[in-house]
């Protein structure tokens, strides 16, 4: 396994003492290769892409010379990055993936996983083949409950709806649990989820639920939707991940988030179907 990154301090620590990963049940240290893209050698038969959505093209262009012609690219990203990757390597060379465990880089060569969460992989055309199961088995080394699905887009659009609330939380100083349960913001958060679900349905996708999130809750009455928000908050109770990654980008790293890149495909689809999404646009603005 070779980790590829552009963060020099991250790479130096991994090379010197391994990649430290704090898990809810204890820590591990993984001794793996670590290199900048311009220092890679040889070719790779499998690529796990784990960069923010707005860096997809940059990362893929850097890795293309080192990817064997038939190497699948697994998009371990938030958003609908599979579509962008498919434009570069072809749909047959992309494996979609959905992850919902909470994790942060807490220092060079140091990752903290705050809570367990769903892990799903699937081919973009819906079939489940040998390579799909192989990737699932590799990810199951981290998350034993990882599954292969014939409806990966159902999970990806479900996560888009779910993560609309995570993005909106970045506009608050409150931890995730308090933010989701605060009655002042619940109407807006429910509205955000409903806008995404509406666009997904127009695209012919039936969004799927996971980890206490059920899309049906938000397509029902407001009372049930509020209960749905509270169920989402349950995942983060006691988690070491108290805030969303978008919040960390703004409050800790003082950097731009990748929220616009994640939501971009929703805006394109909404325009195609003439569906207004004012809350999503307002949040991104």
Q: Over the stretch 104-158, which tens digit does the pLDDT of each residue have?
A: 999 999 999 999 999 999 999 999 999 999 999 999 999 999 999 999 999 999 9
Position of tokens 């990752």? 111
Dist CA 197 CA 237 (whole Å)? 26
Q: What pLDDT digit, counting tens, does each position of 43-85 carry?
A: 999 999 999 999 999 999 999 999 999 999 999 999 999 999 9
User: Residue 74 half-sphere exposure, CB side, CA atoms within 13 Å?
Assistant: 22
pLDDT score recorded for residue 210: 96
Look at residues 58, 1, 64 and name the one whose alpha carbon lies nearest to residue 34. Answer: 1
Angle between helix 56-63 and 81-89 (nearest 10): 30
Residue 205 CB partners (closer than 8 Å, separation 6+) = 153, 154, 157
pLDDT single digits (tens) 198-252: 999 999 999 999 999 999 999 989 999 999 999 999 999 989 899 999 999 999 9
CA-CA distance, 82 to 63, in Å (whole number)?
16
Global pTM reads: 0.95
d(CA 40, CA 141): 26
Arithmetic mean of pLDDT over the chain: 96
Give the integer Cα–Cα distance in Å for 24 and 103.
11
Q: Tokens 């799909």 label which residue?
A: 132
What are the pLDDT digits (tens) for 8-17?
999 999 999 9
Q: Could you give the CA distance from residue 169 to residue 14 in angstroms, rounded to a whole number? A: 32
CA 112 to chain centre: 16
């Amino acid at each position: 396994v070779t980790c590829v990154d552009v963060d020099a301090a991250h790479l130096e620590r991994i090379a010197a003492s391994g990649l430290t990963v704090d898990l809810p049940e204890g820590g591990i240290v993984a001794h793996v290769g670590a290199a900048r893209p311009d220092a890679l050698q040889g070719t790779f038969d499998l690529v796990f892409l784990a960069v923010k959505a707005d860096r997809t093209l940059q990362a893929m262009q850097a890795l293309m010379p080192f990817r064997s012609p038939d190497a699948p690219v697994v998009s371990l990203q938030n958003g609908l990055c599979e579509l962008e990757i498919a434009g570069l390597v072809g749909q047959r060379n992309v494996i979609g993936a959905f992850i919902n465990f909470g994790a942060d880089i807490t220092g060079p060569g140091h990752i903290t996983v705050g809570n367990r969460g769903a892990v799903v992989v699937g081919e973009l055309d819906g079939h489940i083949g040998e390579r799909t199961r192989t990737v699932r088995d590799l990810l199951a080394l981290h998350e034993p409950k990882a599954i292969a699905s014939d409806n990966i887009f159902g999970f990806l659009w479900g996560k888009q709806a779910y993560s609309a609330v995570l993005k909106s939380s970045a506009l608050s100083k409150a931890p995730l649990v308090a933010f989701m349960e605060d009655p002042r913001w619940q109407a807006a958060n429910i509205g955000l989820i409903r806008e995404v679900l509406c666009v997904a349905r127009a695209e012919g996708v039936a969004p799927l639920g996971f980890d206490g999130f059920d899309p049906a809750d938000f397509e029902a009455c407001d009372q049930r939707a509020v209960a749905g928000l509270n169920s989402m908050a349950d995942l983060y109770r006691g988690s070491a991940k108290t805030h969303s990654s978008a919040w960390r980008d703004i409050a800790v790293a003082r950097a731009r988030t990748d929220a616009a890149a994640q939501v971009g495909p929703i805006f394109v689809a909404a325009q195609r179907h003439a569906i207004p999404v004012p809350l999503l646009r307002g949040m991104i603005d």
